[in-house]
Amino acid sequence: MFSLLKYSSSALILISLASPLLAQGHWEGTLPEKKENTEYKVFAENVNIRKEPNLKADVVTKLQPGNPVKVLKKTNTALAQGKVKEYWYKVKAGKEEGYVWGGLLSDYHLTLGKYEILVRNLGVVSEVLEIKALSDSKLTSSLKLDPGPVSNESWGHELYNTESFKPSPGEMFSLRYLVYSEIEYGFPNETFITLKDGKLTSHFSRVPGMCDPPSCAESWLVFPDDILTADSEIKRKIYKGKPNTIREITRHYDIDDISAQEYYEREYIWNGKTFKEKEQETK
């Protein structure tokens, strides 16, 4: 498993803990489970909460996207709809209790100004994430990401200040999640998304840092108004922000030989419509 140890406004450092080697495809058959005693948001429209965990049971109440439910208990009953397979859950919606199929609920959500962002994991077969933006419970935009088989064990996000970019890309956030790997348990992924006038746009993804001993990597983000100070201990020079650019500084190193290290820089340059990627080795 990977552990997120430190964040700052100008830098993101993620270091992984050693994890055991697992067989290829160890995630096959894994369902994106919801956690009990946790609040989730309804992702689909006209969602029926039923008396029993099956499609023929009577309807207790009907919910809409963004409505909150509290997952009380996971049942042992799973249902497949196309490539999406999930369990049924006993939930509480307001004063009502009943059952809902997990594929109708979001797996993660966040608030961005007047907008609510819902994220649904379609599972390891589809390898797709669906994202919706809602305002006053109405859909304003949606998009799909195809990062690979995503685990439900680790979700997070970060909000970023975009005032230094011209023209404004709108509000920016990164969605963080764990992607299953064929060698290790998984690796962290971070996708940068903007929201402007209610429209979601996906720009780029990156692996913030990971460790497969003895080879490890850590990285820092430098926005236009940021300064990443020098660090003599790891032989890192000073990095200053560039106009309309997000600089990603990555250090690759050997934990058994601290002198064996290299620095690389990747730039994401804002051209008014998207962030264009440029990669180079740095001294």
Paired with 255 in beta bridges are none
Structure tokens at 252: 């690759």
Q: Model confidence over 70-117: pLDDT tens digits?
A: 999 999 999 999 999 999 999 999 999 999 999 999 999 999 999 999
Q: Model confidence over 5-50: pLDDT tens digits?
A: 233 333 333 333 333 434 456 788 899 999 999 999 999 999 999 9
Average pLDDT of span 110-139? 96
- Go through the domains of the chain in sequence order and give each one's CATH number: 2-27+107-282 (no CATH), 38-104 (2.30.30.40)
Nearest to 249 by CA among 259, 260, 258, 237: 237
Structure tokens at 68: 């909150």
**Number of C-beta neighbours around residue 120 at 10 A:** 24
| pTM for this model (two decimals) | 0.88
